Amino acid sequence: MTRGRAAHAVPAGARVANPRPETAEKRQRILEAAMSIFATRGYNNGSLIEIGEEAGVSHAGVIHHFGSKDQLLIAMLEYRDDSDVAELEGKHIPDGAALFDHLVRTVELNIERPGVVQLYAVLCADSVTEGHPAQDYFRARFVGLREMVRGALADVVPEASDARVDLAASTIIATMDGLQVQWLLDRSAVDMPEAVRLVIASVIDRLRSEAR
């Protein structure tokens, strides 16, 4: 829905239960290419032609598999989430203090994959513009993230009020996101993992001292 044209029925071929392994592989190549292009060029500037070239198919092939550019974006976001889940190898995301370790560990990992960081930073901010196809995705993502951090904070600082825990959860997530942009603009200017450690420790300390 990025251009003015009205919505239309999903073309055949999008979202079938891909029977053939070859097809699944091609879909995956397209998704990887979409990650790379959307990350470096943004959503609106990244074209299906570029994505097709990088994946070794024509742009028509891309549309054949995903129906439209919007749907490709959504599919790519889900694909990335699935990859991360796969890395966790069945372990659930940890609770309590272990979650904060996990967050810092993720930031450390992210330093080795600036493409992924840029993908999320650009698309996330892009999504606040009117009618952006990934708006629901990011809204839901933040709801989930806040809930997760909130739970961990409640474990670690049970004496804090719900209101303060809510606030602290938003704050920690916001810091991680904001740091990414500063880091992308100048990688030597920000020590992301250490900054995240600082904000987590600071906020937990503060919640404790407030409740005392």
Q: Which residues bind its own copies (CB under 8 A)?
A: 2, 40-42, 44-45, 118, 121-122, 124-130, 135, 138-139, 142-143, 146, 164, 167-168, 170-171, 173-179, 181-182, 184-186, 189-191, 194-195, 198-199, 201-203, 205-206, 209
Residue 11 token pair:
């073309």
The whole-angstrom separation of Cα 29 and Cα 42 is 19
Q: How many residues does the chain have?
A: 212
**How many angstroms separate the first and last alpha carbons of the chain?**
52
Residue 200 CB-half CA count within 13 A: 23
In the complex, the smallest distance separating the C-beta of residue 23 from its own copies, rounded to whole angstroms, is 31
3-state secondary structure (DSSP) of residue 191: coil
| 8 interacts with DNA by CB under 7 A | yes
In the chain, DSSP finds a helix count (H) and a strand count (E) of: 9, 0
| Binding to DNA in span 26-45, by CB under 7 A | 26
Which one of residues 34, 35, 65, 118 is an interface residue with DNA (CB under 7 A)?
65
Decide which of its own copies, DNA, none touches 16; Cβ closer than 5 to 8 Å per partner kind: DNA
To the nearest whole angstrom, how small is the minimum distance from the Cβ of residue 13 to its own copies?
Answer: 28
Instruction: Report the Cα 77 to chain-centroid distance in Å.
Output: 7
Residues 94 to 113 in contact with DNA, rule: CB under 7 A: none
* 3 counts as binding DNA under rule CB under 7 A: yes
